[in-house]
Each structure stands twice: as structure tokens, then as C-alpha cells.
Structure 1
Amino acid sequence: MIRLRRVALPQGTATRLGEYTEKIAEQTTEKARKATAKDLWAARRGVRPSLVAALTEMAPGHARCMYCGDSQGTDIDHFDPKSRTPLRTFDWLNHLLACSYCNSNQKRSRFPTDGDGVPLLVDPTLRDPLDHLRLVLPIGEYRARTPQGEACIDVFGLNSRAVLVKGRVDAYATARHSLELWRIATDKGQCDKAKEIVRVSWNRPLVDVLVAMFHQSEHAAAEALFAGEDEVLALLRDPQLREGFLPRA
């Protein structure tokens, strides 16, 4: 998971979402609100294309899932499940792009909270997942830094899905190679090639690995985190490389 920026919806779509929410709010019982929310969501064809387009723009790489970062995002997921809070069914701030596996097999309607009822899952459009998770790069597994991180690892199966763990290990090797190729191309004055390396690097699946690499290179314990990989750490700390690789706000 990586930090994402939420974009604005077209005004027409935002208006339609508000109208749907008003219809749900008109219901006098929670049961009726849930039933109305379910029916309206099933008939959401008029707004779905705009929602998917906006979520795709926000998603990492080529429309990757906002939870696992590996598979294509195909589903509009309600971060706070509509079965729990029907009034947020058409709340744009409650929509994220998920792959069908994360949405239907992992998260489903799970939405853990702490003892005070505060949600534990991390919405990557509101909080930086790196504040709650640390990726152990050589083995491709996440370690929780907070209870929120623990919840994310559990609900999204970040460590229990072997394909994700193995994929991150391979992504780490690929990212290291890309940094080296960028350095070579830049030293040779091959600016277009260097830019292409950066573009492809950020569009690959599991880009959370690349994000974690740059983040951990700034950590006080970076030398320990990159033990035995002095050359990689030096590249990640290279001001010219960082200027070329890191997106600008």
C-alpha cells in the first residue's frame, strides 16, 4: 500500500452521488436504508464510468489495486462497507479501487475497529501506509508498526498470499536493477532512456517496493536496513537520482 491523492469528480457525477445519498437518508429505519443503498448501488450504471475513471487516475501504475498493488483494480470498493454505513454508499471519499480478490476474498465486509470504535484499516488517500507498515525488502514481507498496520496485514492478506510475497522479492531485484540502469544511462547523457526507465519503474505492479526503498533510505537505521547493499543505498541517496525518480508534488 502507498499514499494516494484523491482527485475531484466531475460536477455532474458528484451531484448524482448526492441525490442517491438523499434517497437513502429519506428512509426512516436502518434496515430500509441498507436495502435502499443496496438497490441503488446495483443500479449505479449512470455513475460507474466516472467513478472508475477517477479511481483509475488515482491508482498506482496501470490501475493497480489500492490494497495489494499487484493485480488490476476492477472493483469499486466501499472502504467503510455499505452494510455497516449505508449513508456512505455513494460517498466519493469512501470509494477505493480494488482487485476482485482483495474485494471479494480478503476484505469483503471486514472493517475492524479498536475498543473505542475507531476504524483500524488505513485509507491510503487519508493516511500514509508507511506510518503503519514497514516492508522488509529482502524477504518481501510487511511488519506492522501500529495496530492499524496489523489490521491491514490481516484483512488484505499482505503476508499470507505467497504470490504477493514472492512478487515483492522479484520487484525488489527489478527495482535495484532499474536504479543501476538509470545511473548508467544518465552518466552517458542518455536523458530519454533515463526518463523511460523512471516511467516504467513507477508503472510496474507492486510499486510499494520502490516507494519503501526510497523511504527506508532516509531512515536513521538505513545502513542496517540495507546491510550488504551499500551500492543500492548510495544510489537511493544520490540527489540527482532522487530528483529524476521521485514524483514532484
Structure 2
Amino acid sequence: MRRVIREPLSEETLARLCQRTLQIARAGNDPKHTRTSDRCQARKAEADRLWDQEKTKAFDEIDRVLRRMAPGNEQCMYCECSKGSDIEHFWPKEKYPGRAYTWENYLWACGICNTHFKGTQFPRDAQGKPLLVNPTDEDEEPSVHLQFTPSSGKLVGLTDKGDWTVRVLGFDRRANLDRDRRDAWRGLQNSIVQYAAACARGDENLALYTQGVICRHPMASVLRTLFDLLDSPRGAELVDADCRAAIHAHPEIRSWP
């Protein structure tokens, strides 16, 4: 999983989201709801009603911006492998209807991560903070909580948040993701070697193209792991010699995603 930079929305769309949030709040504040459970259910019902009919200009913009933010070619922000297809509520709207229309709560996800695995699961710690990694979190890099293992292709948790993320999103039991990460580990190294070879030949077009391929790769988080391991005692063991030489000759590669 890689860090995703959240882009801004237009004032018009933000106003629309704010309006919807107020509608949900008003539904729960209706005087006829005398019990807390009734107020919560009313807010949930209103959020579901509004969401089911949401085919507006504002959501055309939200869909477009999330796709642009997503890694690679509109890939899932969680697994980076499958094509994204859904606006995902990080805090599930079924449990937290007051966040159903919050821009910072939206991610772009594939149906497998969003529906088959995560669903309404949302573990929190004793302070109420999420125990899932949010790829758009401005304060933390996903690599603080998750580590890629080149030999197996697996993502493993480094913290409680990382462990919960692996468990909830099924990263510990999705062999296809392990395979794709291993392929990315090999493929990115090959592309780096190709970039260096193109530079050596003076083939600027091929060098720029190869750079673009590497930077657009949906599993760019694998590239960050490669750089980290390169500087570790295990670098010589895990990173191919030709790739190590290419990065040494072209340190600008380290500034890529």
C-alpha cells in the first residue's frame, strides 16, 4: 500500500457534501425520535436513502478526482492490484452515517477489498482511533505499519494497525496479491536496469518512457521497499546486482515514487 495524496474538491461540491451531512443530522434530531437507538437508525436510514439516489454533478467530480488520485491506472488504493470500481467509505457509512458525506472519508477501492473483505468491519483502539491503515492519511506513511516481503510477496503488519489491516483486507490469504507483488519486485528491477541502459546509449525517449512506466506502476510501494532494502545489510542478497549498479549510477531514481 502506498501513500495517496488527497486532491481538493470544488467549493460547489464541498457545499453539496455539507448540505447532505446536515440533512442526515436533521433526520436524527427529529423530536419524534426519543431514544438514542431511534435517532441513530434515522440517521442511517437517511444516509442510505440519499446515497442510493446520488447521481449528481458533485459525485461526477468526486468519482473523477478519486480515479485520478488512485495508483497506476485507477487501481484500488488498498491492494494496488485490482481495478478500482467503488467509492469506499473508510469509516463505513452503515455504522457512521454522519461521515457518509465527508470528502476525507472517501477512497477508491476494488469490489474485492471493499465488499468481499472489509465490508462494515472497522476496528478501533481504546481511544476510538481506527485500527486500519488509511492510504490518504497525511500524518503517517503506510510503510510505518505494513512491510513488503520480497521472498513471499506478502504484506506483513509491523504494528497493531498493520496487523488489523492485513486481517480485515485479507492480505494474509490472497495468493494472487502475493504473486503480483513478487512480479512487481522483479519487473521494477528490470525496468530500472532498462532505464540505465537507455541512458548509457543516449536514448532519451526510451529513458523517459521507462521512467514513466516505473512511476505509474500501481505497486510503487514495492519500489520504496527496494530503496529501503538497498541501504540495508540484506541489500546485496535481495536486490539484483544490475539493479543496484543502475541505481548507484543514476541516484535520481531514488526520488521517484
Does the alignment reach a TM-score above 0.5?
Answer: yes
Structure 1 residue aligned with 2:6: 6
Match of 1:195 in 2: 208
> Which amino acid is 1:81 matched to?
P
* One of 61, 81, 90 as aligned partner of 2:101: 90
> What is the SS of the residue equivalent to 2:55?
helix
Q: Is the 8 A contact 2:185 2:223 kept in 1?
A: yes
The structure with more radius of gyration: 2
TM-score normalised by the chain length of structure 2: 0.88
**Percentage identity across aligned positions?**
32
Deviations 1:56-105 (Å, cap 9, x if unpaired)? 11111110100000011110000000112111101000000000111110
Q: Note if 1:129 corresponds to 2:157.
A: no
Asked if residue 224 in structure 1 is aligned to residue 240 in structure 2, the reply is no
1:209-220 equivalences under 5 Å are 209-218=222-231
Name the residue aligned to 1:61.
Answer: 72
The residue aligned with 1:19 is 19
The structural deviation recorded for 1:111 is 0.5
Which amino acid letter does the alignment assign opposite residue 13 of structure 2?
A: T
SS at match of 1:41: helix
Aligned letter for 2:76? C
Distance 1:3 1:196 in 2: 23
1:243 aligns with 2:256: no
Distance in 2 (CA, whole Å) between partners of 1:242 and 1:83 is 47
Q: Could you tell me how far 1:212 is from its partner in structure 2?
A: 2.1
Q: Is the 8 A contact 2:184 2:219 kept in 1?
A: yes
- Whole-angstrom CA distance in 1 between matches of 2:142 and 2:238: 27
Aligned length: 244
Alpha-carbon distance in structure 2 between the residues aligned to 1:170 and 1:33:
45
When residues 236 and 223 of structure 1 are mapped into structure 2, their CA distance, relative to the original with a 3 A threshold, is: farther
Partner in structure 2 of residue 144 of structure 1: 157
Q: Is the Cα contact below 8 Å between 1:61 and 1:204 reproduced in 2? A: yes
Structure 1: tracts of 5 or more residues without a match: none
> CA 1:38/1:225 → structure 2, altered by over 3 Å: closer, same or farther?
farther
* Secondary structure in structure 2 of the residue aligned to 1:31: helix
In 1, are the aligned partners of 2:24 and 2:46 still within 8 Å (CA)? yes
Aligned residues of 2:193 and 2:243 also touching (Cα < 8 A):
no
Give the match for residue 123 of structure 2. Answer: 112
Change (3 A) 1:232 1:214: farther
Deviation sequence 1:110-138 (CA, Å, 0-9, x none)? 10112333210011111211001110112
DSSP-derived class of the 1:26 partner: helix
Check conservation: 2:75, 2:218, Cα contact below 8 A. yes
Query: What does residue 174 of structure 1 align with?
Result: 187
Any conservation in 2 of the 1:217–1:236 contact (CA below 8 Å)?
A: no
Equivalent position amino acid for 1:36 in 2: E
SS at structure 2 position matched to 1:45 = coil
- Look up the match of 2:91: 80
- 5+ residue gaps, structure 2, are 30-38
Partner residue in 1 for 2:114: 103
Partner secondary structure for residue 88 of structure 2: strand
Letter in 1 for 2:241: E
**What do residues 11-51 of structure 1 show as CA deviations (whole Å, max 9, x unaligned)?**
21111111101101112211111110111111111032111
- The normalised TM-score by structure 1 is 0.91
Q: Is the 8 A contact 1:61 1:205 kept in 2?
A: yes
Q: 2:43 aligns to what?
A: 33
CA distance in structure 1 between the partners assigned to 2:230 and 2:10 by the alignment: 39
CA distance in 1, matches of 2:233, 2:243: 8
